[in-house]
């Protein structure tokens, strides 16, 4: 669901920190009809112009807090990502993106469930690597977006 | 009294996503244009800062409901067993979430909470004292592909869903004598064929010949077998068990007449639907071609059911892969659903 709308079209920007371009960011919505406890957010499968960016290079900005790594996010067991709210996904990439259009593919991994499942213990020990559908919510595909880098 | 009409605000999820309607607009639509008073919500979609809403939010909610004289029928609550990430929630912890949701529901004036069909009966039993204290009933959902009564057809045993679910809840009620546990049957259990919206969605994203092949084989074969055929005949396809389940539907998972046996236990019903289209030769009258409504409503009436059927529109997700203009109008779909409900209920 919301296949074409999970990333806001005009949100792709480079990230500047300490006078240097350290990566890029874009605005995302949850691929579900409800929000989630923030701790359930397990990161994204992200590819940009054919290159993949693992969860270790990602940070998530939500609830008026500075961007947090997914190691920090998993500890936010009493915080909620509300359905209405947009979050920003930050990707570490030295020098950021070149001006112009970029092709971004994403699939979320939010470990929301409707109850107990056979893989529960395994997910505690080895959380799924995003991109294979685990936690993809109601949007099973890796959704592709053509985005223009904003100035 | 008779059957009453309501709406789950889930039906307007797309309007909410695009920020065209908020929960107050939705309540007003139900009141002004559907002339209905039942309201159902998804807690994690509507309650700002769930599970710790502000006092202002609660007051605002109760005030808005009072303003239009609406009835808070059912709040849909969830069970995410990975919340703490360092361990799988045990049943006592799961019951704590349910109890907290019950207290929240009571503060917002809800008569019932709907818990999911995967919530263990033991968890529900642990929450009974809280449900009784706050006078909120717990209704466990009978959702597709569950039957009302098992053994009607030789269904394959699902690894997680127990086909004896309704029976287990009735046993719990009889064993404990509680009046605060029951069932929420979803009209999705009377879906007898795939909705055209799902078929069209997969035809846009997969080889249309393959989709026709699936529909044809779906009449005689099980999903596992068809997937094996696809691997051979259409290598590289991306269908899986979940997506196949939306277009391989031979018959409904429950029999409408089985409703008769559970009417005393129904706390409210989900009026699941996918696509309301005009009935040929009957201008202004609508139907969902994939879901049986007439017979179940007839049986509910015969048995004196006087609770709510709350519309639960779910077709929108099959048209969110194109532009905003191609999307389905949720408001219009729910209005059509209420034309049908009013006609079948007979008022």
Task: Sketch the domain layout of chain A as residue ranges.
Answer: 3-148
Say how far apart CA B98 and CA B34 lie, in whole Å: 31
Nearest-CA distance B266 → chain A (Å) = 21
Task: Please give the residue of chain A at the shortest CA–CA distance from B115.
Answer: A114
pLDDT at position B1, please? 75
Residue of B81, B116, B120 lying closest to A120 (CB–CB)? B81
Structure tokens at A133: 């559908």
Beta strands in chain B (DSSP E): 4-8, 38-42, 71-76, 112-115, 137-142, 181-185, 269-273, 276-278, 286-288, 308-313
Instruction: Give me the interface pTM, i.e. the ipTM.
Output: 0.96
In a shared domain, residues B309 and B263: yes
The owner of tokens 């035809």 is: B203
Q: A88 and A67 in contact (C-beta within 8 Å)? A: yes
Instruction: Write the pLDDT tens digit of every residue in A82-131.
Output: 999 999 999 999 999 999 999 999 999 999 999 999 999 999 999 999 99
Say how far apart CA B346 and CA B250 lie, in whole Å: 30
| Cα B156–chain centre separation | 22
Strand partners, B185: B142
C-alpha gyration radius of chain A: 15
Residue of A1, A39, A117 lying closest to B317 (CB–CB)? A1
Q: B104 and B75 in contact (C-beta within 8 Å)? A: yes
What pairing do the DSSP bridges indicate for beta strands B112-115 and B71-76?
Answer: parallel
Nearest-CA distance A135 → chain B (Å) = 11
pLDDT at position A105, please? 97
pLDDT at position B161, please? 85
Say how far apart CA B102 and CA B137 lie, in whole Å: 9
CB–CB of B86 and A141 under 8 A?
Answer: no
Q: Which residues of A touch B (CB under 8 A)?
A: 1-5, 29, 33-37, 39-40, 74-75, 77-78, 80, 82-84, 111-118, 120-121, 123-124, 127, 133, 138, 140-141
Structure tokens at B222: 């099980």
Buried b (16+ CB within 10 A) or exposed e, B124-145: bbbbbebbbebebbbbbbbbbb
Helix orientation angle between B330-345 and B23-34, rounded to the nearest 10 degrees: 40
Mutation target vs B (from A6, A32, A35, A86; most B CBs, 10 A cutoff): A35
Nearest-CA distance B301 → chain A (Å) = 32
Q: A80 and B48 in contact (C-beta within 8 Å)? A: no
Cis omega (within 30 of 0) on the bond before B145? yes
Spell out which residues of chain A touch residue B52, defining contact as CB-CB under 8 Å.
78
CATH of the domain at B184: 3.20.20.150
Structure tokens at A146: 């053509």
B145 touches chain A (CB under 8 A): no
Say how far apart CA B5 and CA B335 lie, in whole Å: 12
Q: Is B191 helix (H, G, I), strand (E, B) or coil?
A: strand
CB–CB of A77 and B323 under 8 A?
Answer: no
Domain span at residue B216 reads: 194-248
Q: A135 and A110 in contact (C-beta within 8 Å)? A: yes
Instruction: Write the pLDDT tens digit of every residue in A37-68.
Output: 999 999 999 999 999 999 999 999 999 999 99
Phi-psi region of A69 (alpha: psi -120 to 50; beta: other; left: phi over 0): beta
B157 touches chain A (CB under 8 A): no
In a shared domain, residues B54 and B138: yes
Spell out which residues of chain B touch residue A4, defining contact as CB-CB under 8 Å.
320-323
In a shared domain, residues B24 and B9: yes
For residue B133, what are the CA distances in angstroms to B2, B53, B130? 28, 21, 5
In a shared domain, residues B267 and B287: yes
DSSP A89-138: EEEE-TT---SSEEEEEEEEEE---SS--TTHHHHHHSPPPTTSSTT-TT
Structure tokens at A90: 């930050």
Q: B109 and B140 in contact (C-beta within 8 Å)? A: no
Q: Is B260 helix (H, G, I), strand (E, B) or coil?
A: helix
Domain count along chain B: 2
Q: Report DSSP state, residue B328.
A: -
In a shared domain, residues B102 and B225: no
Nearest-CA distance A95 → chain B (Å) = 33
For residue B257, what are the CA distances in angstroms to B88, B165, B263, B298? 39, 17, 11, 9
pLDDT at position B142, please? 96
Q: Is B187 helix (H, G, I), strand (E, B) or coil?
A: helix
- Nearby residues of B60 by Cβ (< 8 Å), 6 or more positions away: none
Q: Report DSSP state, residue B156.
A: P
Say how far apart CA B18 and CA B328 lie, in whole Å: 13
In a shared domain, residues B88 and B145: yes
In a shared domain, residues B132 and B223: no
Q: Is B269 helix (H, G, I), strand (E, B) or coil?
A: strand
The owner of tokens 């045993």 is: B157
Say how far apart CA B222 and CA B153 lie, in whole Å: 14
Phi-psi region of A18 (alpha: psi -120 to 50; beta: other; left: phi over 0): left
List chain B pLDDT tens, one digit each, 347 residues: 799 999 999 999 999 999 999 999 999 999 999 999 999 999 999 999 999 999 999 999 999 999 999 999 999 999 999 999 999 999 999 999 999 999 999 999 999 999 999 999 999 999 999 999 999 999 999 999 999 987 655 455 566 888 899 999 999 999 999 999 999 999 999 999 999 999 999 999 999 999 999 999 999 999 999 999 999 999 988 888 888 999 999 999 999 999 999 999 999 999 999 999 999 999 999 999 999 999 999 999 999 999 999 999 999 999 998 888 899 999 999 999 999 999 999 96
Residue of B44, B82, B321 lying closest to A4 (CB–CB)? B321
Answering whether pTM is above 0.90, one says yes
pLDDT at position B156, please? 57
């Amino acid at each position: 669901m919301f296949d074409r709308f999970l990333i806001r079209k005009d949100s792709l920007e480079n990230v500047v920190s300490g006078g240097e371009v350290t990566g890029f960011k874009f605005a995302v919505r949850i691929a579900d009809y409800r929000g989630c406890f923030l701790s359930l957010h397990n990161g994204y499968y992200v590819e940009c112009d054919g290159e993949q960016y693992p969860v270790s290079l990602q940070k998530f900005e939500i609830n008026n807090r500075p961007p947090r790594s997914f190691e920090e996010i998993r500890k936010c067991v009493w915080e909620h990502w509300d359905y209405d709210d947009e979050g920003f996904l930050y990707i570490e990439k030295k020098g950021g993106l070149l001006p112009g259009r970029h092709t971004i593919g994403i699939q979320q991994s939010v470990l929301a469930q409707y109850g107990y499942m056979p893989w529960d213990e395994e997910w505690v020990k080895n959380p799924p690597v995003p991109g294979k559908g685990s936690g993809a919510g109601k949007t099973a595909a890796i959704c592709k977006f053509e985005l223009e880098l904003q100035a | 009294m008779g059957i009453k009409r309501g709406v789950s605000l889930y039906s307007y999820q797309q309007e909410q996503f695009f920020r065209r309607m908020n929960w107050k607009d939705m309540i007003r639509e139900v009141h002004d244009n559907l002339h209905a008073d039942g309201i159902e919500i998804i807690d994690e979609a509507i309650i700002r800062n769930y599970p710790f809403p502000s006092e202002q939010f609660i007051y605002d909610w109760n005030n808005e409901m009072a303003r239009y004289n609406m009835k808070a029928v059912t709040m849909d609550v969830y069970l995410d067993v990975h919340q703490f990430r360092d361990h799988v929630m045990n049943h006592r912890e799961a019951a704590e979430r349910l109890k907290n949701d019950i207290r929240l529901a009571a503060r917002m004036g809800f008569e019932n909470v709907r818990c999911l069909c995967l919530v263990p009966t033991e968890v529900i039993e642990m929450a009974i004292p809280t449900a009784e204290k706050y006078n909120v009933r717990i209704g466990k959902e009978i959702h597709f592909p569950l039957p009302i009564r098992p053994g009607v057809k030789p269904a394959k045993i699902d690894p997680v869903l127990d086909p004896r679910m309704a029976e287990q809840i009735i046993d719990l009620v009889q064993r404990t004598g509680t009046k605060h546990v029951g069932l929420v049957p979803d009209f999705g259990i009377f879906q007898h064929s795939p909705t055209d919206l799902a078929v069209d969605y997969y035809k846009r994203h997969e080889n249309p010949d393959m989709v026709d092949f699936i529909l044809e084989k779906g009449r005689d074969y099980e999903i596992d077998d068809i997937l094996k055929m696809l691997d051979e005949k259409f290598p590289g396809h991306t269908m899986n068990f979940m997506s196949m389940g939306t277009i391989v539907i031979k018959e409904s998972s429950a029999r409408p007449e089985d409703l008769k046996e559970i009417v005393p236990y129904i706390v409210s019903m989900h009026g699941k639907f996918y696509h309301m289209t005009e009935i040929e030769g009957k201008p202004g009258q609508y139907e969902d071609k994939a879901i049986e409504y007439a017979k179940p409503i007839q049986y509910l009436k015969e048995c004196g059911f006087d609770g709510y059927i709350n519309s639960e529109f779910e077709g929108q997700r099959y048209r969110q892969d194109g532009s905003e203009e191609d999307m389905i109008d949720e408001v219009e779909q729910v209005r059509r659903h209420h034309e049908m409900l009013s006609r079948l209920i007979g008022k």
